[in-house]
C-alpha cells in the first residue's frame, strides 16, 4: 500500500500539496460524513502523518514500510536519523573507532611520560595530543548538532521545519553547550601548562581549576531542571486512592496493572532518589574541583590524605551504580505487563553484574592513584605504583567497552543492509502485483466498475 497513492500525490509532491490533498480526502472519507469510509480515513491519516514529517518521509522513501516501522520504534534515540543512510552509518562507525583509539592511546602516553626514567620525556602538550584530537572531534560534533538540535530535543514531530531558524530554547541550549565545551578546553590548557611548569608555576592551581568550577556552575541549571522534571513527573503519575467502599482505584482514568500496588510513599521515594542522583552527582564533582586545587597548593608534607581528596570520586561512582540498580528495580515494579517486568529483571541483573565489575576495576585504579600520590609526597617515589600498573583495570574496562562497541557496529551494519534487502524484496513484490492483477483480469469475466478503496483518483465520489 503506497502512501503517496493513498493521498493521490506524486513522490516529489511538496509539503503544501500533501497537506491540501489530506484536507480534501479527510473531508471526503470522514466517518461522520461517510460511515463506510472509516478504514480508508485511517489509512489517509497514517499516510499524512508519515509524509508530513521530513524524517519519516525520508525513511519511507529509502526503506519503505519496513524501515518506517523500525524508525518509529527508535526515533527518540539521539541522532538515530544518521542510521537511515549508509553514509550516516559509516560516519558513526568511523567516529566510534576514532574515539576508542584515542581512549586507548591516551593512558599509554601518560604512563610513558610520568613513569621513570623521566629524562626521556618531552612536553605534556604532546602527551595529551589524543585529548586535543578528542576536543576537535567534539567541536565538529557541536557544529553538526546545530541543525539537528530540534530533533535531539525529542521526537522529530516537534522539530522545526526545514529552513526555519532555531527557537529561543534551542539557541540557549547551544550557547550553554558551547560555554561548557570552551570552559573545559581552557581548563585542560591551564592544567597541562601547569604540569609543564611545576618548578616555576606561572599561576596558582586555583586559577587552573577556575574554568572547571565555571563549567559546574553552568551545569547547575541543568541539575535544577532535572529535579523540577522529577517533581513534575510525580504529580503526573496515577497515584492509587481509596474510595469509600475501601477498594483501591486510580486517580486517573488510565489504569496500569502494577501501579495500584504502590502507595504515595513509593512515588515519593522514586522522586527523592532522582533528586539525590542529580544533586549529589553535582555536589561530588564540585567537591573534587575544590579539594584538588587546595591539595596541590599546599607543600607535600602539609597536604592532607589523598584518600579524602578522591573520596567524592568514589562516592560518585558507587552512587551511580547503586542508583542504576534501584532504578531497574522500580522499573520492574512499575512495568505494565509481565513481559516488560521480565525484561527489567534481566536488565537489573545485567546492570548489577557488569556495573559491579566496572566499579571494582575503576575503584582499584583510584586506590592505586591514591597510593602513588601518597608515596611521592612522603618522599618514597620508588614505592609508588607505576601508571602502567594503575591503568591495567582501565584497559580491562576498555576491553569490555570494545566488545560492546563491536556488537553495536555489527548491529548497525546488519540493520542497514537488512533494511536495504527488505526494501528491495518489498519493491519487487509491489512491482509484481500489477502484472498479476492484469493477468487475473484478462482470465476472469468482466465485473462492474467501482470506485477504488486504496489508491487511484480520490477526487471521485464513492458512489
Residue-wise pLDDT tens digits, 29-79: 888 888 787 888 888 888 888 888 876 787 777 767 766 666 665 555 545
Asked if residues 412 and 97 have their Cβ atoms less than 8 Å apart, the reply is no
Contacts of residue 76, defined as CB under 8 A and 6 or more positions apart, other chains included, come to 154, 155
State residue 121's pLDDT score: 59
Is 303 strand, coil or helix? coil
Asked if residues 324 and 356 have their Cβ atoms less than 8 Å apart, the reply is no
pLDDT band at 207 (very low <50, low <70, confident <90, very high): very high
- Going by C-alpha positions, the residue among 317, 316, 292 that lies closest to residue 373 is 292
- Going by C-alpha positions, the residue among 394, 410, 317 that lies closest to residue 105 is 394
Phi first, then psi: what are they for 249, rounded to 5°? -145, 155
192 has pLDDT over 90: yes
Return the percentage of the chain with pLDDT > 90, whole number: 19
Asked if residues 99 and 106 have their Cβ atoms less than 8 Å apart, the reply is no
Which 8-state DSSP code applies to residue 458?
T
Ramachandran sector of residue 379 (left: φ over 0; alpha: ψ -120 to 50; beta: rest): left
pLDDT band at 449 (very low <50, low <70, confident <90, very high): very low
State residue 43's pLDDT score: 85
Q: Average pLDDT of 398-423?
A: 70
How far does Cα 388 stand from its chain's mean position?
33
Asked if residues 381 and 54 have their Cβ atoms less than 8 Å apart, the reply is no
pLDDT digits (tens, 9 = 90+) for 235-280: 444 444 333 344 333 333 333 333 444 455 566 776 777 778 788 8
Is 32 strand, coil or helix? coil
State residue 188's pLDDT score: 94
Is 246 strand, coil or helix? coil
- Going by C-alpha positions, the residue among 213, 209, 215 that lies closest to residue 181 is 215
Strands 240-242 and 248-250, bridge-based pairing: antiparallel
What separation in angstroms does the CA of 458 have from each of 52, 94, 249, 452, 454? 19, 47, 48, 8, 9
Which 8-state DSSP code applies to residue 380?
-
233 has pLDDT over 70: no
Distance between CA 130 and CA 105 in Å, rounded? Answer: 7
Distance between CA 154 and CA 51 in Å, rounded? Answer: 19
Phi first, then psi: what are they for 400, rounded to 5°? -65, -40
Q: Average pLDDT of 339-368?
A: 87
Distance between CA 237 and CA 251 in Å, rounded? Answer: 9
C-alpha cell belonging to residue 307: 584518600
429 has pLDDT over 90: no
Length of the chain: 463
Distance between CA 348 and CA 164 in Å, rounded? Answer: 43
Asked if residues 197 and 123 have their Cβ atoms less than 8 Å apart, the reply is no
173 has pLDDT over 50: yes
- Give the CA count within 13 Å in the CB-facing half-sphere of 210: 7
Q: How many C-beta neighbours within 10 Å does residue 298 have?
A: 12
- Going by C-alpha positions, the residue among 218, 201, 329 that lies closest to residue 270 is 329
pTM over 0.85: no
User: For residues 121 and 398, which has the higher predicted lDDT (pLDDT)?
Assistant: 398
Amino acid at each position: 500500500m503506497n502512501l503517496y497513492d493513498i493521498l493521490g500525490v506524486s513522490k516529489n509532491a511538496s509539503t503544501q500539496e500533501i497537506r491540501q490533498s489530506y484536507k480534501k480526502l479527510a473531508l471526503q472519507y470522514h466517518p461522520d460524513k461517510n460511515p463506510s469510509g472509516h478504514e480508508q480515513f485511517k489509512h489517509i491519516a497514517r499516510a499524512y502523518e508519515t509524509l508530513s514529517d521530513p524524517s519519516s518521509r525520508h525513511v519511507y522513501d529509502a526503506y519503505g514500510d519496513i524501515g518506517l516501522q523500525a524508525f518509529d520504534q527508535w526515533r527518540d534515540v539521539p541522532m538515530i536519523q544518521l542510521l537511515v543512510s549508509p553514509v550516516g552509518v559509516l560516519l558513526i562507525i568511523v567516529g566510534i573507532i576514532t574515539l576508542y583509539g584515542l581512549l586507548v592511546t591516551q593512558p599509554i602516553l601518560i604512563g610513558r611520560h610520568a613513569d621513570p626514567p623521566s629524562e626521556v620525556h618531552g612536553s605534556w602538550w604532546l602527551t595529551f595530543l589524543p585529548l586535543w584530537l578528542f576536543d576537535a572531534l567534539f567541536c565538529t560534533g557541536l557544529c553538526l548538532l546545530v541543525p539537528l538540535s530540534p530533533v535531539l530535543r525529542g521526537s522529530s514531530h516537534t522539530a522545526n521545519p526545514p529552513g526555519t531558524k532555531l527557537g529561543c530554547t534551542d539557541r540557549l541550549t547551544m550557547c550553554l553547550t558551547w560555554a561548557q565545551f570552551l570552559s573545559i578546553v581552557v581548563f585542560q590548557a591551564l592544567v597541562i601548562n601547569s604540569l609543564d611548569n611545576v618548578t616555576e608555576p606561572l599561576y596558582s592551581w586555583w586559577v587552573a581549576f577556575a574554568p572547571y568550577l565555571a563549567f559546574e556552575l553552568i551545569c547547575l541549571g541543568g541539575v535544577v531542571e532535572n529535579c523540577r522534571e522529577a517533581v513534575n513527573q510525580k504529580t503526573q503519575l496515577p497515584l492509587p486512592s481509596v474510595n469509600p467502599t475501601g477498594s483501591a482505584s486510580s486517580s486517573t482514568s488510565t489504569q496500569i496493572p502494577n501501579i495500584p500496588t504502590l502507595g504515595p510513599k513509593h512515588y515519593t521515594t522514586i522522586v527523592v532518589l532522582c533528586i539525590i542522583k542529580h544533586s549529589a552527582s553535582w555536589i561530588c564533582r564540585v567537591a573534587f574541583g575544590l579539594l584538588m586545587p587546595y591539595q596541590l597548593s599546599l607543600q607535600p608534607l602539609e597536604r592532607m590524605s589523598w584518600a579524602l581528596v578522591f573520596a567524592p570520586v568514589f562516592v560518585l561512582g558507587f552512587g551511580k551504580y547503586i542508583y542504576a540498580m534501584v532504578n531497574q528495580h522500580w522499573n520492574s515494579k512499575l512495568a505494565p505487563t509481565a513481559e516488560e517486568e521480565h525484561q527489567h529483571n534481566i536488565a537489573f541483573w545485567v546492570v548489577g553484574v557488569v556495573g559491579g565489575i566496572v566499579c571494582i576495576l575503576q575503584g582499584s585504579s583510584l586506590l592505586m592513584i591514591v597510593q602513588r600520590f601518597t608515596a611521592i609526597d612522603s618522599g618514597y617515589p620508588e614505592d609508588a605504583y607505576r601508571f602502567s600498573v594503575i591503568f591495567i583495570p582501565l584497559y580491562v574496562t576498555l576491553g569490555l567497552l570494545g566488545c560492546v562497541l563491536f556488537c553495536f557496529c555489527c548491529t548497525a551494519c546488519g540493520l542497514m543492509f537488512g533494511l536495504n534487502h527488505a526494501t528491495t524484496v518489498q519493491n519487487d513484490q509491489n512491482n509484481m502485483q500489477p502484472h498479476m492483477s492484469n493477468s487475473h483480469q484478462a482470465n476472469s469475466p468482466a465485473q462492474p466498475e467501482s470506485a477504488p478503496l486504496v489508491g487511484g483518483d480520490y477526487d471521485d465520489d464513492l458512489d
